Amino acid sequence: MDMEQATPAAPEADVEPVDVEDAEAALIEHYPRLVRIAYLTLPATMGRHRRVLLAHRLVQRALPRTRRAAADEGGPGDPAYALVRHEVLHGALAYGRRRTGVWRLPRAVLVAAPLPPQVVGLRLFPRAGGSEELALDRALAELDAPARAAYALAALERLSDDEVAALLAEAGAEAPHKAVQEAGQVRVTRADGGTADPARLLASAEFDPCTVQVRPTDLMRRRQHVRLGAAAAVAALAAVALLGVPGDDGAGFGAAGPLGPQQAALNRALDPALVVRAAPDAWRRSGRLDFTDWPARGDRTDDQELLQRALAVWARPGPSVRVTTTAGTPATPPVASPRLLYAGDLDGAGVVLLHDGLRLVRYAEPVDGGGAPALDFARVDGASAASASAVVVGRTERGARFLTAPWTDDTTVRDLLDPSAAAHGLKRSPDGVTAPVPMPAADGNCASASARWPVLRLTGQPGVPDRGPLLLTDLGDLTPVHLTYASGAGARLEEADGDQARAAWAHTVCRLPAVRGQGVRAVGDWAFAEQRLPDDAGTASWLCTRADTWDGDSHVLVQFLPPGGSAAAPAATAARSDATPACGPVAPQVLAGVLWKSPAKRWYLLAAGSPEVTSVTASGGAGRTASGHTLTAPAQPSERPAITGRLADGGTLPALK
């Protein structure tokens, strides 16, 4: 079996150790280049703001504490530069490795810890480049960390393949030659059909984390975001304190020596008598509805023993506790007394639902005392009235029970695969808990005639913002996913309960299992274009489905829907992309294409863009340019032409792939 060598070359004996002062001088002199390399190597899924800050942090932490030897393996002829570059690469590559369990802790601490540089109240991101830079950014996002680093080193440092592989091996990459090979396959096509110069593209503002634009964070949610940073720091101290607290089989209280301020704060947070309880009518006086306006409900809100067990397990879950967390949610202990939202018995389990301002935490234990308890965490910072409308409090074979917001006036159920069917009633207890709602098929199999996709339909009381009716679907997390719809220019999303919205969702809802369990907050369907088909085949629709998660990631799917299918016929996937602004509120513009066979057995290239697109161009054998935001051209089934669009402001837009 062929295996790549990942053993770093030994430094030559005559290489002098690098003084700290020399390393600092090299770091300062080449700081923009080093930060750019780190930024390009870090995963695109982090988002541009986090990548910018972390790239600067990695470079600033690359300065050695003492004299160290370094092998000069390319780039500027300076051992000091080689040393700091190695440290930057080593640190950035670590974020591309998949780690689980306790090995994720050091990485999470470096990202979340209050280390410089820190930015409060602002979002940072490099200036946007042109279509070529955007195409390269998307291509690099498909590569793993070593391949991205290889591309950056080859282009920015002007190194040979062997030199790049040697640097990657020294920095800890497992398959450096494979990374170099994958990086060498990245090609960006210019408008004239030639290949763009990688060095020129990487030197652009698109990939420069030292020259950034700034925008404010969500001004309405800034207070919660400040609490998030403080909570992360205090939670780390609380977790350390917990490691030294003996308890009852890992889930009880205890004290070892005098109480310090952190331990005293933790004990207060774990005192069931101190849990926060909102007044039943608090939501009526609130200026902005979210989970902080939920009162404590359920038939066991005064059960101190149940609340104490829930808090103790949250603070220190034993080995038998089943713990689940949604993406981007820390499972750290509470740092202050949490808010009690629910405590009661449901389907044979004692359930406690708590909220600490940043997360929802659900504790469930068997009422009969048999079996292990379960603990679920979900991130909900910045929740709005719509995203704080319901929480899953229990799941059984019969379906999911939802605890609805206190401002809910009516609950019904719709089947999204039958858009013409009326909604039917759903019983709800005085505490706001619904009857079980059948769960959609986890595999998204909508082919059978009996397939159903039930969604929860909620209507708020008169005068409530985002009153709805709004549609929520269960994708396996604590918080259901808010479904929305838009048509025409701008992707201005509205509730998905209208006739057009339900008709569109019937064709796209079966794609949702692809983001099941990924902490999705909301999914919007945008009918961005209609296109007349050749050979008198009717009119096709183009839909962009965008899923946004609680931790800031996004998943975009462009779908093509020809006429003539059933009301729930799945649309064809034309393109997909992650971590993209397409179809979102910031930069909604989108363009995609498909090869389509007409009823007359002829093949065509079909492309469509959002209304902001003024012309569409296809290269290759099907090459042509069409004014407007759609294009139709005869094609061969084997063709894969490049498609670009021209925007009204003169910019270009590459097609999603």
Q: Which residues contact 164 (CB under 8 A, 6 or more apart)?
A: 74, 150, 153, 154, 157, 176, 180, 183
Which pLDDT band, with edges at 50, 70 and 90, does 447 fall under? low
Give the DSSP per-residue string, 446-476. Answer: --STT---EEEEEEEPTT-TT-S-EEEE--S
Same domain, 335 and 255: yes
What is the C-alpha to C-alpha distance for residues 466 and 458, in angstroms, rounded to an integer?
10
Same domain, 479 and 352: no
- pLDDT, residue 257, reads 34
Q: Are 333 and 316 in contact (CB under 8 A)?
A: yes
User: Does a structural domain hold residue 391?
Assistant: no
Grouping H, G, I as helix, E, B as strand and the rest as coil, residue 104 is helix
- pLDDT, residue 236, reads 45
Which pLDDT band, with edges at 50, 70 and 90, does 105 fall under? very low
Residue 404 predicted with pLDDT over 70: yes
What tokens were used for 65? 């504490």
Same domain, 572 and 486: yes
For residue 136, what is the enclosing H or E element?
helix 131-141
pLDDT digits (tens, 9 = 90+) for 618-655: 987 667 899 999 999 999 888 888 999 999 888 899 99
3-state secondary structure 571-617: CEEEEEEECCCCCCCCCCCCEEEEEEECCCCCEEEEEEECCCEEEEE
What is the C-alpha to C-alpha distance for residues 10 and 13, in angstroms, rounded to an integer?
9
Backbone angles phi, psi at 414, to 5 degrees: -120, 155
Grouping H, G, I as helix, E, B as strand and the rest as coil, residue 511 is helix
Grouping H, G, I as helix, E, B as strand and the rest as coil, residue 165 is helix
What tokens were used for 572? 């064809």
For residue 632, what is the enclosing H or E element?
strand 630-634
User: Does a structural domain hold residue 574?
Assistant: yes
Cα distances (Å, whole numbers) of residue 476 to 204, 479, 540: 41, 8, 33
Q: Are 376 and 402 in contact (CB under 8 A)?
A: no
User: Does a structural domain hold residue 191?
Assistant: yes
272 CB-contact burial (10 Å; exposed 0-12 / middle 13-18 / buried 19+): buried
What is the C-alpha to C-alpha distance for residues 419 and 525, in angstroms, rounded to an integer?
15
Same domain, 206 and 290: no
Q: Residue 285 gets which letter from DSSP?
A: G
- pLDDT, residue 217, reads 63
Question: Which position has the higher pLDDT, 629 or 451?
Answer: 629
Measured on CA atoms in the order 85, 91, 92, 98, is the torsion positive or negative?
positive
Q: Which domain holds residue 229?
A: 222-383
Same domain, 274 and 404: no
419: preceding bond cis by omega (within 30 degrees): no
- Average pLDDT score over residue span 400-404: 97
- pLDDT, residue 457, reads 97
- pLDDT, residue 559, reads 96
Residue 231 predicted with pLDDT over 80: no
User: Does a structural domain hold residue 11?
Assistant: no
Cα distances (Å, whole numbers) of residue 564 to 344, 522, 538: 50, 29, 9
Q: Are 297 and 432 in contact (CB under 8 A)?
A: yes
What tokens were used for 472? 């929520």
Within the chain, what is the greatest distance between any pair of CA atoms?
A: 84
Q: Are 331 and 381 in contact (CB under 8 A)?
A: no
- pLDDT, residue 422, reads 94
Measured on CA atoms in the order 382, 385, 391, 397, is the torsion positive or negative?
negative
Residue 359 predicted with pLDDT over 90: yes
- pLDDT, residue 102, reads 38
| Number of other residues whose CB lies within 10 A of the CB of residue 207 | 22
| Number of other residues whose CB lies within 10 A of the CB of residue 319 | 8
For residue 20, what is the enclosing H or E element?
helix 20-29
With CA atoms as reference, report the closest residue to 27 among 56, 57, 62, 52.
62
Q: Residue 94 gets which letter from DSSP?
A: H
Same domain, 91 and 232: no
Same domain, 109 and 241: no
What is the C-alpha to C-alpha distance for residues 268 and 260, in angstroms, rounded to an integer?
12
- pLDDT, residue 387, reads 93
What tokens were used for 431? 């505490």
| Number of other residues whose CB lies within 10 A of the CB of residue 427 | 9
- pLDDT, residue 328, reads 80
Question: Which position has the higher pLDDT, 636 or 393?
Answer: 393
Single out the residue in 383, 412, 441 at which a domain terminates. Answer: 383
What tokens were used for 385? 């009235």
Question: Which position has the higher pLDDT, 206 or 191?
Answer: 206
Single out the residue in 175, 198, 215 at which a domain terminates. Answer: 215
User: Does a structural domain hold residue 6?
Assistant: no
Measured on CA atoms in the order 155, 160, 163, 164, is the torsion positive or negative?
positive
Compute CA 289 distance to the chain's CA centroid, rounded to the nearest angstrom.
Answer: 24
How many residues would you count in the chain?
A: 657
- pLDDT, residue 237, reads 45
User: Does a structural domain hold residue 2?
Assistant: no
What tokens were used for 297? 């409900």
What is the C-alpha to C-alpha distance for residues 8 and 347, in angstroms, rounded to an integer?
58
Q: Are 202 and 152 in contact (CB under 8 A)?
A: yes
Q: For 60-69, 155-164, 356-365, which range has the lowest pLDDT when averaged over its residues? A: 60-69
- Average pLDDT score over residue span 61-65: 82
What is the C-alpha to C-alpha distance for residues 384 and 402, in angstroms, rounded to an integer?
17
What is the C-alpha to C-alpha distance for residues 166 and 9, in angstroms, rounded to an integer?
7
- pLDDT, residue 586, reads 81
Q: For 222-236, 327-341, 535-549, 583-597, which range has the lowest pLDDT when averaged over its residues? A: 222-236
Which pLDDT band, with edges at 50, 70 and 90, does 488 fall under? confident
Which pLDDT band, with edges at 50, 70 and 90, does 261 fall under? low
Counts of helices then strands in the chain (DSSP H, E):
14, 26
pLDDT digits (tens, 9 = 90+) for 505-522: 999 999 998 898 889 999
What is the C-alpha to C-alpha distance for residues 57 and 79, in angstroms, rounded to an integer?
22
- Average pLDDT score over residue span 43-63: 85
Same domain, 569 and 479: yes
What tokens were used for 558? 């462009």
Percent of the chain past pLDDT 70, that is, above it, reads: 83
Which pLDDT band, with edges at 50, 70 and 90, does 23 fall under? confident
Residue 558 predicted with pLDDT over 90: yes
Which pLDDT band, with edges at 50, 70 and 90, does 371 fall under? confident
Single out the residue in 544, 560, 588 at which a domain terminates. Answer: 588
Kindly provide the residue ranges of all beta strands, DSSP E only, lying in 223-326, ordered along the sequence: 322-325
Helix intervals (H) in 256-316: 261-269, 304-315
Q: Are 336 and 387 in contact (CB under 8 A)?
A: no
pLDDT digits (tens, 9 = 90+) for 131-190: 778 788 888 888 889 999 999 999 888 888 889 999 999 888 888 999 999 999 998 887
- pLDDT, residue 576, reads 92
The count of structural domains within the chain is 4
What is the C-alpha to C-alpha distance for residues 41 and 25, in angstroms, rounded to an integer?
23
Residue 28 predicted with pLDDT over 90: no
Grouping H, G, I as helix, E, B as strand and the rest as coil, residue 412 is strand
Q: Which residues contact 547 (CB under 8 A, 6 or more apart)?
A: 481, 512, 515, 518, 520, 522, 523, 554, 555, 556
Same domain, 158 and 100: yes
Same domain, 333 and 269: yes
Q: For 113-117, 121-125, 273-277, 422-426, which range has the lowest pLDDT when averaged over its residues? A: 113-117
What tokens were used for 428? 């709800």
Cα distances (Å, whole numbers) of residue 291 to 250, 354, 407: 30, 10, 11
Same domain, 466 and 560: yes
What is the C-alpha to C-alpha distance for residues 401 and 362, in angstroms, rounded to an integer?
13
Q: For 106-120, 486-500, 583-597, which range has the lowest pLDDT when averaged over its residues? A: 106-120
pTM above 0.75, yes or no: no
User: Does a structural domain hold residue 9?
Assistant: no
Same domain, 258 and 209: no
Percent of the chain past pLDDT 90, that is, above it, reads: 48
pLDDT digits (tens, 9 = 90+) for 288-303: 899 999 999 999 999 9
Cα distances (Å, whole numbers) of residue 350 to 83, 270, 333: 57, 18, 21
User: Does a structural domain hold residue 371?
Assistant: yes
